[in-house]
Amino acid sequence: MNEILTWLKGLNPWVIGCGKALGIVLLALLIHFVSKRFLLKCLRRLVEKTKNKWDDVLTEKHVLNWLAQLPGGMVVYSLLPIAFPAGGNIVNLAQRLTIIYMMLMSVMVVQSILNAVIDIYRNFELSKKRPIRSYVQVVKLFLYVVSGIFVISILLNKSPWGLLVGIGGLAAVFMFVFKDTILGFSASIQLDAQDMIRRDDWIVHAKSGADGDVIDVSINVVRVRNWDKTITTIPTHELISGSFTNYRGMFEMGGRRIKRNIVVRISSVKFCTPEMIDSFEEIDILRGYLAEKRRELEEYNRSHGEDPEKTNPRQLTNVGIFRAYVAEYLKRHPKIHQPGQMTFLVRQLEPTGEGLPIQIYVFVKDTRWAYYEGIQADIFDHILAIAPKFEVEIYQKPSGSDLKESPVGTVLGGAAL
């Protein structure tokens, strides 16, 4: 009996210490419960009443939630020596684990704040020119590495600087493991420094098939929302090592290019008769051009002794007048940039097996896609409709019905019957 009492007396300080430790844990849980149930609710209501948006973002990113995890850990770390005054390895280990817990919660707080900074910054117009997501990701990576080193040093009860010296020998391994991250970081710096890409830019990356607006630029990837609403992910370093097209310059210049050919059947190209020229002079926008060309040709033929009845003098052609009409029509169009503002060409290209291409190369003032397509369609509707006025035939590849209606088709059809 005496031995049992002696054993209980020896055990008593540990029993008391465990009871105190249990009380400390319960107190920490109570503080945690009060912080989340009451303090956080009060802070959220206060945030909802303010007009600032940044505090709403901090709440959405759970910054306050992670902060609420810290008071409990502080209580445990501070009161553990009271439970076990003698200290020892158990208290030391418990305090180290508590420090690790508080460090991880602090890392989560900093990470949430950095996420909030990205969202707040995206509300500014400058974010489209200078995205910071890639830099924030580098800060996060550095934070994870440093915190990991400190966690290991606390568990091993060694100086973190000694671990850093040892990790230096593993630099080659880290270079291999984080190869893509390092390449992406270098590429993101170059993209930002040279202002090659911004959020909301329209880019085309042929290798990945991306064709749409940039919605995110990070260290490792650039995300593009294509026009069919799918999302293409491009490794950031591929934009530096390869090539891509950025249409930002088109929007900044305020002009969207029309480059389209109208192919004229060569058999319809001919000299204009006086009757044809008279009919063309009824078109208002051609009167000045025709008067000037008539005067120019008369002077040229007279100076070179050309006799229209005996020789073949210079004459006007229906295609030439048609081309002049298209140029004058576009010069009077309110939605087209005029010569001197941007490139303005209505030119004749080299004849092909299909005919004589007349190319329209101009810029529309409205760069919005739908409006641009509407303006372009109206222009070519008019040009195609006015072409017969000049006795110009537009080439169209023959179809089965065309061959059937032709003399050859009729003969073949009769033979088949």
Q: What is the pLDDT of residues 51-76, one digit of tens each?
A: 767 667 777 777 777 777 777 777 77
- Is residue 343 a part of any domain in this protein? yes
- Is residue 280 a part of any domain in this protein? no
Choosing from 102, 123, 144, the residue where a domain stops is 123
Which domain does 104 fall in, by range? 2-123
Measured between alpha carbons, how far is 290 from 316 in angstroms, rounded to an integer? 9
pLDDT at 414 (0 to 100):
44
pLDDT at 47 (0 to 100):
65
Inter-axis angle of helices 89-121 and 70-83, nearest 10? 170
Report how far apart, in Å, the C-alpha atoms of 136 and of each of 139, 140, 178, 303, 352 are: 5, 6, 17, 77, 56
Buried b / exposed e along 193-222 (16+ C-beta atoms within 10 A) = eeebbbbebbbebeebebbbebeebbbbbb
- Is residue 175 a part of any domain in this protein? no
Same domain, 257 and 404: yes
Q: Minimal CA–CA distance to 234: which of 256, 257, 218?
A: 218
pLDDT at 417 (0 to 100):
32
pLDDT at 173 (0 to 100):
61
Q: Minimal CA–CA distance to 109: which of 76, 67, 143, 53?
A: 67
Q: What is the pLDDT of residues 252-292, one digit of tens each?
A: 888 999 999 999 999 999 988 888 988 888 888 898 888 88
CATH of the domain at 263: 3.30.70.100
- Residues with pLDDT less than 70, the chain: 1-21, 23-24, 32, 35-38, 40-41, 43-44, 47-49, 52, 54-55, 80-89, 128-129, 134, 160-178, 193, 304-313, 399-417
- Is residue 83 a part of any domain in this protein? yes
- Is residue 361 a part of any domain in this protein? yes
Choosing from 99, 123, 147, the residue where a domain stops is 123
- Is residue 200 a part of any domain in this protein? no
- φ, ψ (nearest 5 deg) of residue 196: -85, -25
pLDDT at 172 (0 to 100):
60
- Is residue 165 a part of any domain in this protein? no
Choosing from 123, 151, 179, the residue where a domain stops is 123
Domains identified in the chain, total number:
2
- Is residue 227 a part of any domain in this protein? no
pLDDT at 147 (0 to 100):
82
| Cross-strand partners of 202 | 213
pLDDT at 263 (0 to 100):
95
Spell out the SS3 assignment of the chain. Answer: CHHHHHHHHHHHHHHHHHHHHHHHHHHHHHHHHHHHHHHHHHHHHHHHHCCCCHHHHHHHCCHHHHHCCHHHHHHHHHHHHHHCCCCCHHHHHHHHHHHHHHHHHHHHHHHHHHHHHHHHHCCCCHHHHCCCHHHHHHHHHHHHHHHHHHHHHHHHCCCHHHHHHHHHCCHHHHHHHCHHHHHHHHHHHHHHHCCCCCCCCEEEECCCCEEEEEEEECCCEEEEEECCCCEEEEEHHHHHHCCCEECHHHHHHCCEEEEEEEEECHHHCCECCHHHHHHHCCCHHHHHHHHHHHHHHHHHHHHCCCCCCCCCCCCCEHHHHHHHHHHHHHHCCCCECCCCCCCCEEEECCCCCCCEEEEEEEEECCCCHHHHHHHHHHHHHHHHHHHHHHCCCECCCCCHHHHHHCHHHHHHHHHHC
